C-alpha cells in the first residue's frame, strides 16, 4: 500500500504540472503513526488546541505526509534581499491549490479500495494572533521520519527543505516511519553554516531563535504586493475567510546548502 499511495501522489503531480505554471520535483512520501506517544506533546510545544488524528478520522492509524519540492528555477528566482519573487508567490499558491485537489483524489482512491481517509480542516488555517496552526504539517512529517527541523525551522528532507508539505489521515494498515535520530541541519549537527540566518535580512531568524511576528511582518509586506496568484491560507483559526494575498518570503530556504538535499555527504 505504501508504494500504491506514493504512486498516486507522484502520478497526480506529473499530470497536474502539465497545465500548471509551477513545476515540482519528485514528491517524497512518509507515513506517521497516528497513535504516536509524542503526538499529545504537540499541545505543549505547538498550539494548545492541536488536533489529534482521531478527531479527523475515528479509526485513524496512519497520517500520510508528503513533501513537494520546488524546482531550482523557482528557488533561484527568490534569491536576494527584498520582496519575494513573483515565481515564489505563485508557487506557494499553486502548491496549496494542488494540495486541495490531490488530497481529495487520494481520499477517493483509498475509499475505492475500502479504506477511509480525511484531511484536517485546521491544516490550512492558523491563528493570526499567535501565528500557530492547530495542525502542524512539520511535526507530522518529523514523526514520519521524513526529516529534521533545520535552524531555519524548515523540515530538511532527503530532497532538502525548499518545498511544501501536506498530509492526509487514513486507516491504512502499514508500518509507520519513526523520527530520525541524526540531524539534517549543519548547524544543529556541527555548529556550522548558518547561511539561512544570513539570508534573513529582517532579523526575524537568528541563531538565538526565531521571531515569528517579525517574519509575519515581512510575509504581510509581500502579501500586499502579491494579490493575483490566489488567496490560500486566508482563513483564520475560526475559518473566517480574509482577502490576505500571498503571505510569503522564503529567503531562508533558497540559496542554502539544505535547499535541495541533505547539506552533507552521507558516510
Ligand atoms: C503559521 C505558519 C507560519 C507563520 C509562523 C511561522 C512559524 N515558524 O510557525 C508565518 C506566516 C510567519 C510563516 C512563515 C513561513 N512559512 Co509557514 N506555516 C505556518 C503553518 C500554517 C503553521 C506552523 C505552526 O503552527 N507553527 C507553530 C510552531 C509549533 O512552530 P515553530 O514556531 O517553528 O516552532 C517549532 C519548531 O521550531 C519545532 N522544532 C525545532 N526544532 C525541533 C526539534 C525537534 C526534535 C522537534 C520535535 C521540534 C522542533 O519546535 C517548535 C515548537 O514545536 C504551517 C502549515 C501547517 N499547518 O503546519 C506553515 C509552514 C510551516 N510554513 C512553511 C513555509 C515554507 C513558510 C515560509 C518560508 C513562507 C513562504 N512560503 O514563503 C516562512 C518561513 C518562516 C520560518 N523560517 O519559520 C512550510 C514549511 C515547509 C518545510 N519545508 O518545512 C509549512 C509547513 C507550510 C506547508 N504546507 O508546507 N508560516
Ligand atoms: S542553511 Fe545551514 S544552518 Fe540553515 S537550516 Fe540549512 S543547514 Fe541548517
Ligand atoms: S521567511 Fe523571510 S523573514 Fe521569515 S525567517 Fe525566513 S528569511 Fe526571515
* Nearest Cα residue to atom 57 of ligand 1: 123
Residue tagged 480574509 (cell numbers): 242
Measure the CA–CA gap between 155 and 225, rounded to whole angstroms. Answer: 27
Q: What angle do CA 238, 127, 152 make, to 5 degrees?
A: 150
The pLDDT value recorded for residue 45 is: 85
Check pLDDT > 90 for residue 182: yes
Measure the CA–CA gap between 152 and 210, rounded to whole angstroms. Answer: 8
Residue 81 banded pLDDT, cuts 50, 70, 90:
very high
Check pLDDT > 80 for residue 234: no
Q: How close is the Cα of 116 to the center of ligand 1, in Å? A: 28
Phi, then psi, of 55 in degrees rounded to 5: -80, -25
For the chain, where are the E strands, in sequence order? 28-33, 62-69, 117-118, 148-149, 155-156, 163-170, 205-206, 209-210
Phi-psi region of 206 (alpha: psi -120 to 50; beta: other; left: phi over 0): beta
> H or E segment at 216?
helix 212-225
Domain ranges for the chain, please list them.
2-253
* Nearest Cα residue to atom 7 of ligand 3: 200
Q: How close is the Cα of 153 to the center of ligand 1, in Å? A: 6
Task: Identify which of 198, 204, 216, 253 to mutate to test ligand 3's pocket (most ligand atoms within 8 A of the CB).
Answer: 204
Q: What pTM was computed for the model?
A: 0.96
Measured from CB, residues less than 6 Å from any atom of ligand 3 are: 199-200, 202, 204-205, 215, 218, 249-252
User: 149: which strand partners?
Assistant: 155
The answer to whether 96 and 124 are in contact (CB under 8 A) is yes
Over residues 148-160, the pLDDT tens digits come to 999 999 999 999 9
The pLDDT value recorded for residue 230 is: 72
Check pLDDT > 80 for residue 89: yes
Residue 46 banded pLDDT, cuts 50, 70, 90:
confident
Q: How close is the Cα of 133 to the center of ligand 1, in Å? A: 9
> Of ligand 2's atoms, which has the minimum distance to the CA of residue 150?
5
Asked if residue 184 has its Cβ within 6 Å of ligand 2, the reply is no
* Nearest Cα residue to atom 8 of ligand 3: 200
Check pLDDT > 80 for residue 267: no
The pLDDT value recorded for residue 86 is: 97
Asked if residue 36 has its Cβ within 6 Å of ligand 1, the reply is no
Asked if residue 142 has its Cβ within 6 Å of ligand 1, the reply is yes
The pLDDT value recorded for residue 233 is: 65
DSSP 83-131: SPPHHHHHHHHHHHHHHHHHHHHHHHHHHHTT--EE--GGGG--BTTTT
Q: Provide the CA 84 distance to its chain's centre, in angstroms.
A: 18
For 8-22, 24-38, 42-56, 75-89, which range has the lowest pLDDT when averaged over its residues? 42-56
Check pLDDT > 70 for residue 21: yes
Measure the CA–CA gap between 74 and 77, rounded to whole angstroms. Answer: 5
Q: How close is the Cα of 91 to the center of ligand 2, in Å? A: 22
Amino acid at each position: 500500500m505504501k508504494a500504491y499511495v506514493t504512486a498516486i501522489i507522484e502520478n497526480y503531480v506529473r499530470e497536474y504540472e502539465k497545465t500548471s505554471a509551477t513545476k515540482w520535483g519528485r514528491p517524497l512520501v512518509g507515513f506517521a503513526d497516528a497513535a504516536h506517544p509524542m503526538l499529545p506533546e504537540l499541545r505543549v510545544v505547538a498550539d494548545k488546541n492541536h488536533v489529534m488524528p482521531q478527531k479527523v478520522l475515528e479509526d485513524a492509524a496512519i497520517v500520510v505526509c508528503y513533501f513537494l519540492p520546488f524546482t531550482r528555477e523557482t528557488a533561484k528566482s527568490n534569491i536576494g534581499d527584498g520582496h519575494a519573487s513573483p515565481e515564489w508567490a505563485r508557487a506557494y499558491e499553486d502548491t496549496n491549490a494542488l494540495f486541495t485537489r490531490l488530497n481529495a483524489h487520494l481520499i477517493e482512491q483509498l475509499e475505492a479500495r475500502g479504506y477511509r481517509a480525511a484531511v484536517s480542516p485546521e491544516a490550512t488555517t492558523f491563528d493570526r494572533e499567535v501565528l500557530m496552526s492547530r495542525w502542524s504539517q512539520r511535526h507530522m512529517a518529523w514523526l514520519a521520519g521524513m526529516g529534521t527541523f533545520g535552524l531555519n525551522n524548515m523540515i530538511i528532507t532527503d530532497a532538502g527543505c525548499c518545498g511544501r508539505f501536506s498530509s492526509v489521515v487514513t486507516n491504512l494498515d502499514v508500518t509507520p516511519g519513526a523520527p530520525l535520530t541524526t540531524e539534517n541541519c549543519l548547524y544543529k549537527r556541527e555548529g556550522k553554516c548558518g547561511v539561512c540566518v544570513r539570508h534573513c535580512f529582517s532579523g526575524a531568524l537568528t541563531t538565538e531563535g526565531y521571531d515569528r511576528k517579525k517574519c509575519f511582518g515581512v510575509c504581510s509586506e509581500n502579501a500586499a504586493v502579491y494579490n493575483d496568484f490566489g488567496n490560500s491560507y486566508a482563513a483564520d483559526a475560526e475559518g473566517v475567510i480574509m482577502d490576505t494575498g500571498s503571505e510569503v518570503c522564503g529567503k531562508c530556504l533558497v540559496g542554502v546548502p539544505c535547499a535541495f538535499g541533505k547539506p552533507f555527504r552521507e558516510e
